Structure formats: C-alpha cells, structure tokens
Amino acid sequence: MEIKIGVFTDIIFHNEENGYTIAEMETDEELLTVVGNLSKAVRGTCYELTGEFKIHPRYGEQFVFSSAAEKLPTTVSGIEVFLASGVIKGIGPKTATSIVNCFGEKSLDIMENDPDRLCQISGIGPKTADKIAKSFAEHKEFAKVSMAFQEMGVTSSQALRLYKAYGRNAISVISENPYRLVDELYGFGFRKADQVAEKMGVAGDSPFRIQSGIKYGLTAYVNDGSTYVPRDILCEKVAEMLELTREQIADGIFDLIISGDIQMDEIDGEKVTYLFSFYNGEQTVCRNLNSLAKAELKTLTVDIDKCIEMTENTTEVYLSESQKSAVKKSVQSGVSVITGGPGTGKTTIINTIINIFEENDFKVAIAAPTGRAAKRITETSGHYASTIHRLLEYFYSEDTGDMQFGKTREDPLEYDVVIVDEASMVDLILMKGLTDAVKPGTRLILVGDSDQLPSVGAGNVLRDLILSGFVTTSKLTEIYRQAQESMIVTNAHRINHGEYPTLNSKDGDFFHMERNNEIQMRELIVDLVKERLPDYYGGIDGVRDIQVLSPTKKGNVGTIELNRVLQETFNPHREGISEKKFMDRVFRVGDKVMQIKNNYQMEWKILSRGEAGQGVFNGDVGFIAYIDAENQNLTVIYDDEKYVEYDFSQLDELELAYAVTVHKSQGSEFPIMVMPISWFPPMLATRNLLYTAVTRGKKVVVLVGSENRLRAMVDNDRIKLRYSGLAYRLSNLMTFD
C-alpha cells in the first residue's frame, strides 16, 4: 500500500449518496487519477490517500484508495484554491483571493484562531467573520467524523445528518448503541443501523438489536397506514428478518412492554401489538369523541329552516332534502360527519352551516390538513381557513426538544364550532391532537370523501368513524345539477361505483389518449403540458396550471422520470442559471418543487408585508428563487409570497414537482390534471387511486395510456389492508353505553 498526499484539482465524478469518487489529484511530484469512496469531494481540498495503483482496462492507470484523511493545504496557492471551492460558508472566489493576498500562508490559522482579523478584508464584517470561523471549524470536525463513518458504510448524506445531530461526539455516541440512530435520526433506517452495528461488533442477538428490530417491524406497518399489528404476524416477520427465533422476539416484546415503548391489546379476540403512541392515540380519540358527543351544546336561537332558506335565496343555490338533512344533523350534534363525492354539495353545505352559526353569533373555526386544502376552502367558501396544525398552534418546545400542540385539553380552542374539511386526510395522531383541543360543548364537524385514498399517516379515521356508527353521519349521493354537466364529476362517480368512464365526449372536460408504449406516453405528456393544452385553452401556464400525476415514483412514467424530462423541457441546464446537484437530483432556479415532510421549525418570511413565521408542510409546492453557492443555501417561494431558505444539507426535504404522486396530491385541486395509465403494481393500480386522481382535476382531466389498463384499474377494487382499532373501540363504546 502507498500513501499519496495532494490537492483535488478536478472532480470527474462524485456520487453523494454512496460516496464513490473519481478525481484528478496533484501531488508535489505528479498528477494522478484517484478512485475511491469519499463523503465529500470538493475541488481544492487536500487529502492523504492510502491505496495502490491499478490498471483500468478502459481508463488506464488509477490510484485506487481504501482510506482517506483530509489535510489542510499549506501553500498559498493551495489555500486559495481550497477557500475558493465554496466549502466554507461566506467565502467565494473573490473573497478567497482577498484573504490570501492579505494573510498568505497564515490565512487558515487566522480563520481558526483569530477570526476577528478577517474584518480587515473589505466586505467582511463581524457577522461574516464569525460565520466563516464557525463554518471552518465545522468543516474540520465533519471531515474527521465522516471519514470514521465512511469505514462503516455510512453515506455522505447520512454522515452529515449524524454530524448535525451529535457534533464531534457522533462516533462515541453511536458506539454505545448504534440502534439509537433509528429512533433519533430522520431518514436513518434499521437496516443501515444494523450495518453500522455489525461493523462495530454488536452481536446478532443483542437486546438492542432485537428491540430495535421489533420497533422497526411495527414502524413498517405504521408507515403503511396501520396503527397495530397482530402479535403472531409481528413475531413471525421480525424473527425472519433478524434470523432469530420467535421466542427471542417474544422476549423482546415483553421487554418493550415493560419499558413502555409498546402496548399489547386484544381486538376481536386477537392479540395485537401497538407502538404505545398509537395505542394511546386510539384510546384518547375515543374518550374525547365520547365527551364531545355527550356534552351539552350551546343552544341555537335561530330557526334552522329559515336560515337555510335565506342562504338559498342569497346564493341562488338550492339544497336537496338530503343536503338539508345533513345541515340539520350537523348543527344539532356534538360530533358529526358529512361525506360525499365531488359535486354532492359539500362546500355549499359548509357555507350554509357557517351562515347558520354566524347568524347565531357562534364563533366558528374552519381548518384542513394541508395548506393547499385550506387555501382552496378559503377561496371557495369566502371564509378564512387555516391548517389544523396552525389552528392548534403547533410549535417547537425548547424544554422537551420536540414539536407540541399549543392548544390542548388544558388550554383548549375557544370556538363554538370547529369544521374540518378534507377529513379523509386526517390521521390518528392529528385526530388525537384535534380532539384534545376541542372542549366539550363545542360542535366538531368533519367533512370529507371517505372513498378517497386514506391519510398518508397511520389510521383510517374518517372511514372508522363512519363504520363504527358512533358518530352522526350524513352520506351525500345526489349530484348537483350543475355538477352533472361535468364529465369529470360524472366519471369520478362512475369509477367509484365500478363503472367504466365515458371517454372523449364532445365538448367535454375528460379525455383519454390511447398509447400503449410508455416512452410514447411520456413523450405525449410532455407535448400536452408544453404545447397542446396551453395552446388549446389559452392563458394556461404549463408548469403552474397543469399538474402531472402518477401512481408511482419508479419506471418510465413514474414521477422521477417524468420530473427529469419535464425539468429538461421547461428548465434545462443553461449558462447563467444557478443549479445545485444533490444526490440523484438537480435543483435549478425556476424549478417547481415540493416539500416532502412536515418541518415545523422551518422559518418563512413574507417580504412584502414584513411577516414571518415557522412551518413548511408535506405537500407544499413552490418555486426555487435563488441558489447561493457561497453560503450554501437555496430559497423557495411558496404561494408566490412566502420565502423559505434551505441549507444545502436540508435538500432531502425537497423534490421536483413537475410531476407528483397521486398520494401527494391529496387535498389539492389543479386547473388541469394529466396522468399516465400503464401497468402499475396491483396495490397502486386501484379504483380508489384512480378516483382520487380524477377528482384532483378542476377543469380538465387527461389520461394518457391504455384503455385496457384504465378498465383494469376500475375493476381493481382492492383496498390496502390497514390494521386500525378505532372503529372497534368506538363500537364497543356504544355497546358499553
């Protein structure tokens, strides 16, 4: 083995996910092509590499290294190249030259030990000097941590998350119990922790491993929407995964029950296992709903029938008898559900209910699970709606180090009525938070389409409430006369009933374009979005007004590939447009992007009004406004006014959004929706997924693909099994009463 020390003069290739790197390195004696794994590969960085020379059949001689340690450059030219690389926040090429011209070989020493002297440089004030010093210190520390974790198979992005979570103590912290990574670090799965543990010599039957494996098994079901798992199924799956006995897993379950991490229960005579938070969630929701249903309500002094008539005369929209019944049931009940498909008048009913309560001087709150859904309700109803999280004053607690609801049982919402739209998207944990904050005597009205895809989070709340029979429920089936004129609405109901949609009717708004080859489908979708639809309808923006949906992320017509081709169509690489490569994706100024996880601490600013706040949510769509390579951040504008700054290390929270999955589109409506219809896995090619997708289109729906596959989706009424105990508990509550 040989040791080579030199500076990377060029990065030929670097995979940010696995660290595989090909670079040109200049030593004091020669120029080398080096190949190996590095957590970070930056032009201008100096490394000490240990490896050997090998002959590549195509590329010739290469120095293949097995270990690497970053070295700080010592020459003036080396220091300047290093600083100009952008690796240190606050320093770009011009500033790098100024620093080196002023301090020469002492530049790095001054940054580390006497950063105040940087203020001698024009353009560097105390704040910038402090930022540079901190970034330099972090760079040195991270280099040590990442190199150590690299040997354990930890990727560059994962090493960065470890460093941000645990700082310079990351290695010692993880050495104590590698499986804490799963619980404490977002995006760090059990299998990766298991890999790290094996490298550290942790035994396969370690209690840490068994307990973490059990929680991983439970979490896998939770991530698929379940709140519990039958005990026998859990033992079998985890034993198989860990290559241990069912008895060992059963012992681990017992230990976790003792520690309070999980809870055993019995549902319909079957022993089941919960993560404690979901067991507590179901119990709490049941208790809260029972209290709300039985509480004495504030008396309505107005005549409901007259209020309905007045609203009808004002709006010239007249309710059917079933819709009037839904209004009456809701205003007279402590807890109620209104469910129905598109065109059944849910929005009209909500407006009528609001008018009745406002006529009675009741204080009404309206909320929805997502920002986009809340915005849509505000636009269609004329009444302000917020997200449920904002209504409940979700915040980061410095005391506990996690997110909490500000509104609780101890400090409840001060409203007479709380109306929640798009309730099919409400998962169990959010329902717990909501019902905790609604005090007895307040009317809680849940509105949604129970035939839509269920919530992304665990639980099947809306369906369970309806199924239980515990909650006053109004099912709307009659379609408004105006809605009957829309083929989108008509076909949505046909699909929901298992009937084939009517395609390409004259002067319609629902179209199918036959293509049997996925490449052809993809090409046609691009043509539709770029040319045909904007040209035909006029005044349509292909990016802002047209949303491409797909049932899946993978494949030729999955969102990953569709985003690639649509990005190249609408926002290709070109000189003068800033971009940032992150893992397998490239972000450019002007790109349409989506936030893919709830981040309640992320700060936003509305510059035009001088407002600021916190919280960016899963499903929020915006556009990249700036990419600042020098300070290593990226700015996204949401809702045309809300500016959010992302550090480059946070870019795993963003995806391109020219195309999004149907699941991610829930709660949103788009002027025009385009979707491929091809072969998809049976769990995705379902009737209710197609139904959900079709109902996202407001004015036009275009399906591109095979009519036979379209019919197969309609025929596939399979609904993914979710283990949920809420309906069972509510039914038992009724029996007990």
Phi and psi dihedrals of 626, rounded to 5?
-140, 150
Instruction: Give CA–CA dist 289/12, Å, rounded.
Output: 61
For the chain, the distance separating the N- and C-terminal CA atoms, rounded to the nearest angstrom, is 78
Q: How far apart are the C-alpha atoms of 370 and 420, rounded to whole Å?
A: 11
Residue 382: HSE in the Cβ half-sphere, 13 Å Cα cutoff: 6
Q: Rounded to 10 degrees, what is the CA torsion of 42, 48, 50, 53?
A: 70
Confidence (pLDDT) at 382: 82
User: What letter would DSSP give residue 652?
Assistant: G
Q: Which residues of the chain have pLDDT under 50?
A: 736-737
Question: Is 639 within 8 Å of 610 (Cβ atoms)?
Answer: no
Rounded to whole angstroms, the Cα distance separating 521 from 512 reads: 12
Helices (H), 500-657: 518-527, 533-537, 559-570
The CA-atom distances, in angstroms, between 549 and each of 145, 379, 505, 709 are 41, 23, 22, 16
Residue 358 in tokens:
């406002």
pLDDT computed for residue 564 by the predictor: 95
Contact 127, 157 (CB under 8 A): no
What is the phi-psi region of residue 306: left when phi exceeds 0, alpha when psi lies from -120 to 50, beta otherwise?
alpha
Per-residue model confidence (pLDDT) at position 481: 56
CA distance 459 to 617: 19
pLDDT at site 17 = 66
- In angstroms, the CA 111 to CA 287 distance is 59
Identify which of 575, 655, 650, 649 has the alpha carbon closest to the alpha carbon of residue 622: 655
**Predicted local confidence at residue 282, as pLDDT:** 96
Q: What is the pLDDT of residue 151?
A: 66
Percent composition of the chain: helix, strand, coil (DSSP 3-state, to 5): 45, 25, 35
User: Which amino acid is it at 232?
Assistant: D
Q: How far is residue 500's CA from residue 503's CA, in Å, rounded to a whole number?
A: 9
pLDDT at 196: 81
* Residue 247 CB contacts under 8 Å (≥ 6 apart), including other chains: none
Is the separation of the CB atoms in 173 and 166 below 8 Å?
yes
Residues 6+ apart with CB under 8 A from 249: 210, 213, 214, 234, 235, 238, 239, 242
Torsions phi, psi for 385 (to 5 deg):
-125, 140
Cα 727-731-732 angle, rounded to 5 deg? 120
Count of alpha carbons within 13 Å of 148, Cβ hemisphere only? 16
pLDDT at 483: 57
Q: In what order do the strands lie in the sheet with 659-661?
A: 510-514, 697-705, 670-677, 546-550, 659-661
Structure tokens at 27: 């030593």
394 phi and psi angles, rounded to 5 deg = -70, 135
- One-letter amino acid for residue 563 of the chain: N
CB 218 within 8 A of CB 234: yes
pLDDT one-digit tens code per residue, 333-355: 999 999 998 888 888 899 899 98
Helix axis angle, 190-199 to 207-223, nearest 10° = 160
Scan for tokens 């092509």, then name that residue: 33
Q: Does residue 75 contact residue 118 with C-beta atoms inside 8 Å?
A: no
Q: Pull the structure tokens for residue 430.
A: 């959010």
User: Contact 109/83 with Cβ under 8 angstroms?
Assistant: no
- Please tell me the predicted confidence (pLDDT) of residue 28: 79
* Model pLDDT, residue 395: 77
Token pair, residue 477, equals: 């089936």
Classify residue 272 as exposed, middle or buried by CB count within 10 Å of its CB (0-12, 13-18, 19+).
buried
Q: What pLDDT, on the 0 to 100 scale, is given for residue 157? A: 63
CB distance 38 to 115 below 8 Å:
no
Token code pair at residue 94: 């011009």
How, if at all, do strands 20-26 and 2-14 pair?
Answer: antiparallel
208 within 8 A of 179, measured Cβ to Cβ: yes
- Residue 62 zone, left/alpha/beta (φ > 0; ψ -120 to 50; rest): beta
Determine the Cα–Cα distance for residues 594 and 175; give it in Å rounded to an integer: 36
How many CB atoms lie under 10 A from the CB of residue 651? 20
Put simply, whether the predicted model's pTM sits higher than 0.85 gets the answer no
Number of Cβ within 10 Å of residue 561's Cβ equals: 17
For residues 627 and 587, is the Cβ–Cβ distance under 8 A? yes
Distance CA 465, CA 434 (A): 15
